[in-house]
Amino acid sequence: MTRYRNVLLFVVLAAVWGTAFMAIKAGLAYFPPVLFAAIRYDIAGVLMLGYAAYVVDDPFPRGRGQWALVAVGASLMIAAYHALLFIGELNTTSAAAAVVVSLSPVLTAGFARMLLPSERMTTAGIAGLVLGLLGVAILAQPDPSNLLAEDVVAKLLIFGAAAAFALGSVLTRRIEAELPIETLEAWSMVFGALLMHVLSAALPNESFAAITWTVEAVAAVVYLSVVASALGFLVYFDLLERLGPIEINLVSYVAPIFAAVSGWLFLGEIIGVPTVVGFLVIFAGFVLIKRRALTEEVEGIRRAVVD
């Protein structure tokens, strides 16, 4: 029964995070991109602070190390990731954005090899990283005669978002401090939102006056902040504890399916062959890098089913 529950929650999380790409694309018709991301995390941050206060004995970071964790989370994993993602989605599809973001676990392995002395990448791991980058190249389809085409630049911005998130996740492992994940996420969201407000104020055409308030705009903000962020992370915390980081990473490879289907249903987006091929190549890279851990997971599932 527990395994069925975990599978159900896994699918729910993939669906929620996958359809979030569609909600971002839909909301960009009414919001400036960086301000949109900031408002999303204004709301999500307050909700997550309330949750952290409920489940953690002391929901406030203490000491330089813990605040350093929050600084990395806020600047790279919230502000940089979402600012680049939201700007990038202005000129690409929900499915393409989700596929590029699915490169994050592969990039995380690459950054870990460079920045964590204990990490060692094998030849197969290096091949997996190369495959992941090749998948992005297939998806972007850069034209040598027009490398600054809007769709190519958009995918490169989203690649930058995935790289920022991956780098942030590795840097948090370098910091010699521990912080409950609920506390880290909550304060990272709050300060990440603040950083995005500062960035938004410095950009042209980014102001509250530029927002068009409609039912669809409100629905997009509520869905992203309450469902995709607050409720999504609650499910994520639960599954992380039950499944571990390897299995939960697979959400990144199921989410693009929901992004593609929801983008097609609600926005009429076309799922192109490069998107599908790029996704398969990136996933192959992930399998190469995580092949041993995946093999152990499959063997554990097999034993559980047999027993």
Alpha-carbon distance of 276 to 141, in angstroms, equals 13
Q: Do residues 72 and 94 touch, judged by C-beta distance below 8 A?
A: no
Q: What is the pLDDT of residue 13?
A: 92
Q: What is the pLDDT of residue 124?
A: 77
- Judged by average pLDDT, the poorest of 129-133, 138-142, 186-190, 253-257 is 138-142
Query: Does the pLDDT of residue 241 top 80, yes or no?
Result: no
* pLDDT, average across residues 31-51: 97
Please name the residues in contact with 69: beta carbons below 8 A apart, sequence gap of 6 or more: 61, 172, 175, 177, 179, 184
pLDDT band at residue 1 under the 50/70/90 scheme:
low
Q: Do residues 244 and 7 touch, judged by C-beta distance below 8 A?
A: no
Please name the residues in contact with 297: beta carbons below 8 A apart, sequence gap of 6 or more: 246, 247
- Please spell the DSSP secondary structure of 213-224, one letter per residue: --HHHHHHHHII
- Judged by average pLDDT, the poorest of 77-91, 138-152, 252-266 is 138-152
Q: Could you read off the pLDDT of 270-307 as tens digits, one per residue?
A: 888 888 998 999 898 888 877 877 777 666 666 666 55
- The mean predicted confidence, pLDDT, of the chain is 88
* pLDDT, average across residues 33-56: 96
Q: Which domain holds residue 230?
A: 2-306
Q: What is the pLDDT of residue 77?
A: 94
Domain tally, the chain: 1
Q: Could you read off the pLDDT of 188-228 as tens digits, one per residue?
A: 999 999 999 999 999 999 999 999 999 999 999 999 999 99
Q: Do residues 192 and 69 touch, judged by C-beta distance below 8 A?
A: no
